[in-house]
Amino acid sequence: MKKRTGYRKHKKYKGIYQNITTKRYRVNIKVKGEPRNMTFDLLEDALLWRNECMGNTELYLEKLAKKDKCYSTLREVYYSMQVNHFDTLAPSTRQIWNRRYELLKSIEHLTMNKITPSLVTSWINIEVKKFKEDHYIKSRGHASRCNLYNEINLLKTIFNWYKRSIEFEHEAINLTCPVHKDHKKKAIIKPLPIKSFDIPLEDILTFFDTLPELYSDLSKLQFYTASRIGEVAGLQWNRIDLEKNTMTIMETCQWDMSTKTYVKLNPTPKNKLPRVVHITDEIRAILERRETYKIKGNQFVFHFERKPLNYGTILVNYRTAQRKSKLRCTGTHFLRHAMAKLARRVGGGLDAVIAMTGHKDIKLADHYSKLSSDFQRKVSTDIMDHIKAETFKIEQSKNKVIVIKSTQVKLPNNVISLNDYRAALSFLR
């Protein structure tokens, strides 16, 4: 066959060509001298149509239907995941995953064996093209998408759960996760904005002073305990023991993701583990101030007119203070990051970070406490100072050796010094 524009000949299988853009496979064969061709998403299907069905499309569809009955669709797997796995997740995580799944709905009708690396690549290319269109970027402005990392990670999570699940054990045993490292490179829509949590302590203190008293105390306690905002907003008086100087981070506020309003009080934090915090003098001062607002029958340390705080109200106050204090960050989570960094710098390692934040995963602790450029500059300067000091010592020791050699070593009888040679030479002239 003449080489087709936009197609690449398959190295292993004769008569099969892959589209360079869409990654789909085109098969060309002759049946009783009559040329036939067909295009497939999967190489596996292309070989089935060519080898077993010999170009018979009806036979191919029949075999394909029998084959696909063995596999569940992505929609069925995700539904089973919601039923059997979502109870172990924090409510906010469930809402986030459901939101990320929206883009995956375009391929949810496919069976799990059809979701291959080439198909994932095609899906990424289509979505990236859509989000790069001018009308989308203009409508979203700076809030337009940067990449598809979250959706790719969710697809990988679904496949990993599918492989571990007993329900799908018989069909998943021969399948592998179709998400590869190269997919993240293809999923980039525009460069990520630079976000830095290297906030000087002076700026954080200014941020506290800019807030009203209620939200100032809330933010200070969040910072001093390196907590999530929901953990501090949901803090209960019965978890505080001022005599023993301890309090337990246990209950957490759950807010609706769309309305940002209070829904209920969850019995455990995001990682399901309570965390005991030592009450320092600064924390005690906050709790003593809040005690004046304590209401009988209401266990919330932070409340507004007996009602738990809404996330929307917290966010508005934080954003106003961030703008006034000229902080280079947004949201409420930056205080947890800032304390994690401070704990690593002062404590000298990830153990100090884990002690403050309560992370179970050391990778997460490392992510939260990435060392700042100031710390890198200090380490770099210290190293160079050390190199200079050692270099000076080495040079000094070399100079001593030279002096010792010049004073102690005697010249042989048949060797004269350079000065004597020059004097003899001038006398001869």
Q: What is the pLDDT of residues 31-76, one digit of tens each?
A: 877 888 888 877 877 888 888 787 787 777 777 666 666 788 999 9
Higher pLDDT, 50 or 85: 85
Is the predicted pLDDT of residue 16 greater than 70, yes or no?
A: yes
- The pLDDT score that the predictor gives to residue 400 is 61
Q: Please enumerate in sequence order all residues whose Cβ is within 8 A of that of 132, keeping only pairs 6 or more positions apart, or say none.
A: 189, 190
Across 336-363, average pLDDT: 66
pTM higher than the cut 0.75: no
Question: Cβ neighbours of residue 351 under 8 Å, at least 6 residues apart?
Answer: none
pLDDT at residue 398 tops 50: yes
CA–CA gap between residue 235 and residue 350 (Å, rounded): 26
The more confidently predicted of residues 251 and 196 is: 251
pLDDT the model gives residue 127: 93
Return the SS3 of 189.
Answer: coil
Predicted pLDDT of residue 124: 94
Average pLDDT estimate for 384-388: 69
How many Cβ atoms sit within 10 Å of the Cβ of residue 374? 12
Helix (H, G, I), strand (E, B) or coil at 3: coil
Instruction: Give the type of residue at 57.
Output: T
CA–CA separation, 376 vs 195, rounded Å? 17
Residue with more model confidence, 366 or 238? 238
Neighbour-count burial of 19, counting CB atoms closer than 10 A to its CB (0-12 exposed, 13-18 middle, 19+ buried): middle
Mean local confidence (pLDDT), 129-143:
87
Whether residue 117 contacts residue 23, with contact meaning beta carbons closer than 8 Å, is answered with no
Q: Which amino acid is at 243?
A: E
User: What pLDDT, on a 0 to 100 scale, did the predictor assign at position 327?
Assistant: 84
At 370, the pLDDT band (50, 70, 90 cuts) reads low
368 within 8 A of 337, measured Cβ to Cβ: yes
**Residues pairing with 35 in the sheet:** 30
Q: What's the CA gap between 418 and 141, in Å, rounded?
A: 81
Contact 321, 336 (CB under 8 A): no
Label residue 213 by pLDDT band (50, 70, 90).
Answer: very high
Alpha helices, H only, 27-143: 43-47, 57-68, 74-84, 91-101, 117-131, 134-140
User: Vertex 74, ends 70 and 76: CA angle to 5°?
Assistant: 75
> In which band, very low, low, confident or very high, does the pLDDT at 290 lie, cut at 50, 70 and 90?
very high
Q: Which amino acid is at 328?
A: R
Q: How far apart are the first and last CA of the chain?
A: 95
Please give the pLDDT value at position 275.
86
Q: What token pair was written down for 103?
A: 């883009």
Q: How many CA atoms lie within 13 A of 148 on its CB side?
A: 29
pLDDT classification of 203: cutoffs 50, 70, 90: confident
Instruction: Give the per-residue pLDDT at 272.
Output: 82
Residue with tokens 């059809």: 114
DSSP conformational letter for 250: -
Give the torsion through C-alpha atoms of 145, 148, 149, 153, to 10 deg: 140
The fold for domain 204-371 equals: hpI Integrase; Chain A (1.10.443)
Q: pLDDT band for position 2 (50/70/90)?
A: very low
Tokens of 423: 């004097």
Checking if the pLDDT of 375 tops 70, the result is no
Q: What does the alpha-carbon distance between residue 287 and residue 239 come to, in Å, rounded to a whole number?
A: 12
pLDDT in tens, 308-324: 999 999 999 999 999 99
Angle made by CA atoms 179, 180, 182, in degrees to the nearest 5: 130
| Tokens of residue 267, six digits | 């019995």
Q: Could you say which DSSP state residue 1 is in?
A: -
Comparison of pLDDT for 365 and 332, the residue scoring more:
332
Structure confidence at residue 1 (pLDDT): 43
Mean pLDDT of 146-151: 92
Domain boundaries, the chain: 7-68, 74-186, 204-371, 374-428
- Sign of the torsion formed by the C-alpha atoms of 206, 211, 212 and 218: negative
- Which one-letter DSSP state was computed for residue 411? P
Q: Point out the least confidently predicted range of 44-58, 78-92, 111-125, 135-149.
A: 44-58
pLDDT tens-place string over residues 107-118: 999 999 889 999
Report in angstroms the alpha-carbon separations of 97 from 19, 91, 101, 150, 157. 33, 10, 6, 9, 10
Kindly state the tokens that stand for 11. Answer: 């190295």
pLDDT average, residue stretch 73-98: 89
